[in-house]
Amino acid sequence: MEGIDKNTFKQIFYDHWDAFKQFNPRFDSPDYNNTIQKMLDCGDPEKMGFVQYRCCNCGQIRRIAFTCKSCFCLSCAKVYTDRWADFIGRRLLPGVTYRHVVLTMPEFLHIWFFRDPALLSPFMRAGHACLKDILNTCSGVKLDIGNIIVLQTAGRSGHYNPHLHILMTAGGIDPLEQWKSISYIPYEMMHRKWQYHLLKMLRDNVSDPTVEKDIDRAWKEYPKGFVAFLQPGEVPPGGQGLAQYLAKYVVSPPISVRRIERYDGKSVRYWYRDHKTKQIEHETLPVLRFIGRMVQHILPKGFHRIRYYGLHGNVRYKKMREQLTNIIPTHIPDDPRGYRVLPAKPFQQRFFESFGKDPLLCPKCDNDMSLELISHPKYGTIKKFLLFEELPDERQAVGIATGRTIHRSERLVQIPLPFL
């Protein structure tokens, strides 16, 4: 592990990204180039811009560079995952029990998604349609259910393996507007229904007629359906806990830095835990193949990896939250299946947790530091904040949210970073 840190991942791309593109022109597009460039520039104040704080007492300056916030960047992965868990935590419906569902497909079907990433959207929709169908069948009535679906394209070893992780409400609203819980789902039915919905999706969305051959093969070789399973037990209670729990399954960059063991300029050695054997496996790849294995997980620009369906739909969930509080039985106090929604962590706290210090305290004299300026790599200095003066209007003008009333002697300015 010696000498391996998050810069090793960057170094690999510094050294070989250009060569990789020459051999794999498919990846020489703005989407991929931008993602790689952002990852390489991340945290560099010259390239990314920065916020500058100054201590009003002793004049000490602190610069905090902007980071890329990309899920491909190992430095940002934790913040990315945390923010994401925060967000999902706030979207869960109080009092509702959730199950964690995983939907996969046979390996020979992966190629269709690799060739055409646009298929990943109908793939996610098929996941929702399938679970709706399953719960309707279980309950015998039409249920209004909710799903939060996360797309993962990487298997444990970093291979391309598109599959879905889903937080599904273990029940739904029936036609009489009552909540109906579903605690038992037969596996056989689940496997067959998933096979049906996925193959129907391929038939409806792939224009290449040779897909029919693979669809036939899938029916023949998998008479019992596709692998679809519920993680045992109910997902842990606690809104954040639950979201963090799911985050664990979808760790963003395919290989986190702690799994890279060696890089000598030509090859990369890393480890992963094999799903089936539960053993730690090691793999050494020529560096260009390693890059290929990583970049195949970069999704098209603007693609939403996390989507909300049914009761969780973007337009509906607020209303549903209110409606559900009226119909979810609340007679059991502190229902262990429920969860509590915690507010999102502010920037200052996240910074504190990452670096062990308060970003707004002077490292020299412990006095409050004030925001002095924001520097953007393209637009230069966006704003100079005059210290020792009240500037409420100007703060508003650049969209700065102040956390509390500011006194002249105690100026705490909390800014949401522009790229968050």
User: Between residues 281 and 366, which has the closer beta carbon with respect to Zn ion?
Assistant: 366
User: At its nearest, how many Å lie between Zn ion and the CB of residue 39?
Assistant: 6
Verify binding: residue 104, Zn ion, rule CB under 5 A.
no
Binding status of residue 157 toward Zn ion by CB under 5 A = no
Q: Rounded to the nearest 10 degrees, how much is the dihedral formed by the CA atoms of 146, 147, 148, 154?
A: 180
* Residue 417 makes contact with Zn ion by CB under 5 A: no
Q: How far is CA 25 from CA 33, 120, 286, 306, 377, in A?
A: 12, 22, 18, 29, 29
Q: Of the two residues 39 and 199, which places its CB atom closer to Zn ion in the complex? A: 39
Range 22-51, binding Zn ion (CB under 5 A): 42
Is 9 or 272 the residue whose CB approaches Zn ion more closely?
9
If the CB atoms of residues 205 and 348 are measured against Zn ion, the closer one turns out to be 348
Minimum gap (Å) between residue 361 Cβ and Zn ion: 9
User: Residue 252 interacts with Zn ion (CB under 5 A)?
Assistant: no
Is residue 317 helix, strand or coil?
helix
* 168 lines the binding site for Zn ion (CB under 5 A): no
DSSP strand pairing (306-310 vs 146-154)? antiparallel
Of 38 and 163, which CB lies nearer to Zn ion in the complex structure? Answer: 38
By CB under 5 A, which span of 4-12, 193-201, 345-353, 355-363 interacts with Zn ion?
355-363
Distance CA 353, CA 337 (A): 29
Q: Does 167 bind Zn ion (CB under 5 A)?
A: no
- d(Cα 350, Cα 364) in Å, to the nearest integer? 21
Asked whether the CA dihedral 406, 412, 417, 418 is positive or negative, the reply is positive
How far apart (Å, rounded) are the C-alpha atoms in residues 94 and 340? 7
To Zn ion, the closest distance from the beta carbon of 372 in angstroms equals: 13
The nearer residue to Zn ion, 125 or 305, going by C-beta atoms, is: 305
Strand positions, DSSP E, 132-226: 146-154, 160-169, 171-173, 179-181
Cα 246 to Cα 404: distance, rounded to the nearest angstrom: 34
Check residue 256 for interaction with Zn ion (CB under 5 A).
no
What would the DSSP string read from start to end of 241-279? Answer: HHHHHHHHHT-SSSS-GGGEEEE-SSEEEEEEE-TTT--
Minimal distance, residue 178 CB to Zn ion, in Å? 47
Backbone phi and psi for residue 289, each to the nearest 5 degrees, phi listed first: -70, -35
Interacting residues with Zn ion between 357 and 416 (CB under 5 A): 362, 364-365, 367
Nearest distance in Å: CB 54, Zn ion:
9
Please pick, from the candidates 24, 34, 37, 60, the single residue that binds Zn ion as defined by CB under 5 A.
60
* Shortest Å distance, C-beta 8 to Zn ion: 15
Give dist(CA 412, CA 414) in Å, integer. 6
Per-residue binding letters, 69-88, with Zn ion (x by CB under 5 A): ----x-xx------------
How many angstroms separate the CA atoms of 79 and 75, rounded? Answer: 8
User: 68 vs 143, which CB is nearer to Zn ion?
Assistant: 68
Which one, 132 or 297, has the nearer CB to Zn ion?
A: 297
CB of 385 to Zn ion, least distance (A): 17
SS3 130: helix
Q: Tell whether residue 58 is a contact of Zn ion (CB under 5 A).
A: yes
| Total binding residues toward Zn ion, as defined by CB under 5 A | 14
Nearest CA among 88, 262, 219 for reference residue 165: 88
Give the residue with the Cβ less far from Zn ion, 41 or 144: 41
Closest approach of Zn ion to the CB of residue 65, in Å: 10
Q: How many residues does the chain have?
A: 420
Q: What minimum distance in Å lies between the beta carbon of 357 and Zn ion?
A: 13
Residue 60 or 121 having the CB closest to Zn ion? 60
- Rounded CA gap, 312 and 128, in Å? 11
Please report, as ranges, the residues that interact with Zn ion according to CB under 5 A: 42, 55, 57-58, 60, 67-68, 73, 75-76, 362, 364-365, 367
